[in-house]
Amino acid sequence: MITDITNNPEIRALPEFENHNGVFLLENKDIGFKGYISIHRKNPTVPSFGATRMWAYKNGIEGLRDSLRLSRMMSYKAALAGLDCGGGKGVIIANPTSPNREELLREYAKNVDLLKGKFITGTDVGLCQRDLAIMKEETPYIVGFNDNSVEFTTLGIYNAIQVSLQKVFSTKDVSKRSFAIQGVGNIGAGLIKLLSDSGCRIIYVSDIIPEKIKMIKEKFPDVKIVDPKEIHKLEVDVFCPCALGGVINEKTIQDLRCKIVAGGANNQLEKESLGTVLFEKHILYAPDYIANAGGLISVFDEYSNKIYNKDTVSAKVMKIKDILNEIFIGSDQNKKATNIIANEIAEKKFNNF
């Protein structure tokens, strides 16, 4: 069952609620299923896009707030990537190792179908490529079958790093720079490969899952393993958050000794005001929803075009450099943090839907 809870006073009072276009409770008590879909902004003629994550949230409210926060971020990401869609986000409140995983996925997809194309989704944390096929059996509003979103996400991050290096060091060459990569899942590992292939040999890595660290060390013997609690404290040129969000908070920001923050994690800043703190500390921040927009660009192209052309998508991802340059110039001219400039540019677009 799907219930529109957008106008519920308790929902609208949540700090993450920002005049969302739609907030939906998904629930089937018979099978222990619960989830949420939040749509931040909706273009009248184009569906809103946002991936779905399955996570063992502490409670339903935590999952709801996550969907609200991430759907907002997707609107900003789409706007700055030059896409005509608004932002959305789906969450399934369950452990990804649940024994009735397939049943939960099918139930979720049936709820997506009830929105009749208002929301297009794919995979995020807790879901994998094979889950798409299961969900696709229940609804056509699923994307990600070109299986290249990780590749394009890492390409976008790499481009963001190069633009940032050019701004700070007057060269985009990564080979002589040092990097601290927090999180070595698909995105972090892909970034390590791109950096290594470009001649970079000073790469520190961390992850809370030992098996991932072991695999990375086997593939890239030169990387240096660091305690996850220490990775952000290293004196490096670039700190790359590639795990979950909120890693730059009131406490960790005081420990940063990098020159640049550019990574793949969503919502890296625990709150927007921390962007100004980075600005005042002369740490260049590449807003995460621009740096990691490659995945969204690729799935939006999949939805919009029947024939896949890798070169076309790559060209769109490469434009991340132009967007960041515009933001960095605006930051210098207006003496404002990069995230504030980015937000202003994005809001002008999606608030006109």
* 142 within a domain of the structure (yes/no): no
Name the residue with tokens 């470009």: 198
Predicted local distance difference test score (pLDDT) of residue 15: 94
In a shared domain, residues 153 and 260: yes
Name the residue with tokens 């980015």: 342
Parallel, antiparallel, or unpaired for β 202-206 and 224-225? Answer: parallel
E strands in the chain: 2-4, 22-28, 33-39, 48-49, 52-55, 88-93, 119-120, 178-182, 202-206, 224-225, 238-241, 260-261, 284-285
In a shared domain, residues 19 and 58: yes
In a shared domain, residues 160 and 117: no
- Residues annotated as catalytic are 89
In a shared domain, residues 198 and 335: yes
Give the CATH number, domain containing residue 29: 3.40.50.10860
In a shared domain, residues 219 and 265: yes
**317, 294 Cβ separation under 8 angstroms:** yes
Task: Round the average pLDDT of the chain to a whole number and report it.
Answer: 95
Predicted local distance difference test score (pLDDT) of residue 147: 66
Compute the average pLDDT of residues 203-214: 95
* 161 within a domain of the structure (yes/no): yes
Predicted local distance difference test score (pLDDT) of residue 244: 78
Compute the average pLDDT of residues 279-292: 97
Which pLDDT tens digit goes with each residue over 39-62? 999 999 999 999 999 999 999 999
In a shared domain, residues 54 and 105: yes
In a shared domain, residues 74 and 37: yes
pLDDT bracket for residue 231 (50, 70, 90): very high
Compute the average pLDDT of residues 203-216: 96
* 301 within a domain of the structure (yes/no): no
Query: Lowest-confidence range among 99-113, 268-282, 301-315, 329-343?
Result: 301-315
* 310 within a domain of the structure (yes/no): no
In a shared domain, residues 154 and 233: yes
Q: Which domain holds residue 213?
A: 149-292+321-350
Compute the average pLDDT of residues 21-28: 97
pLDDT at 306 over 90: no
Give the CATH number, domain containing residue 327: 3.40.50.720
In this prediction, what percent of the chain has a pLDDT beyond 90?
Answer: 90
* 311 within a domain of the structure (yes/no): no
pLDDT at 242 over 70: yes
Sign of torsion over alpha carbons 91, 96, 100, 105? positive
In a shared domain, residues 11 and 77: yes
In a shared domain, residues 163 and 22: no
User: What is the tally of structural domains in the chain?
Assistant: 2
Residue at which a domain ends, from 136, 162, 197: 136
Name the residue with tokens 């550019």: 262
In a shared domain, residues 126 and 258: no
> By three-state DSSP, how is residue 158 classified?
helix
Q: Can you read off the two tokens belonging to residue 69?
A: 């926060």
Compute the average pLDDT of residues 53-73: 95
Q: How far is Cα 27 from Cα 74, in angstroms, rounded to an integer?
A: 24
pLDDT at 85 over 70: yes
Residue at which a domain ends, from 102, 136, 170: 136
* 306 within a domain of the structure (yes/no): no
Q: Can you read off the two tokens belonging to residue 292?
A: 């990691």
Which pLDDT tens digit goes with each residue over 316-342? 999 999 999 999 999 999 999 999 999
* 85 within a domain of the structure (yes/no): yes
Q: How far is Cα 136 from Cα 49, in angstroms, rounded to an integer?
A: 16
Residue at which a domain ends, from 115, 136, 157: 136
pLDDT at 353 over 80: no
pLDDT bracket for residue 313 (50, 70, 90): very high
In a shared domain, residues 80 and 216: no
* 303 within a domain of the structure (yes/no): no
**268, 288 Cβ separation under 8 angstroms:** yes
**279, 331 Cβ separation under 8 angstroms:** yes
Compute the average pLDDT of residues 240-254: 93
CB proximity list for 351: less than 8 A, separation 6 or greater:
41
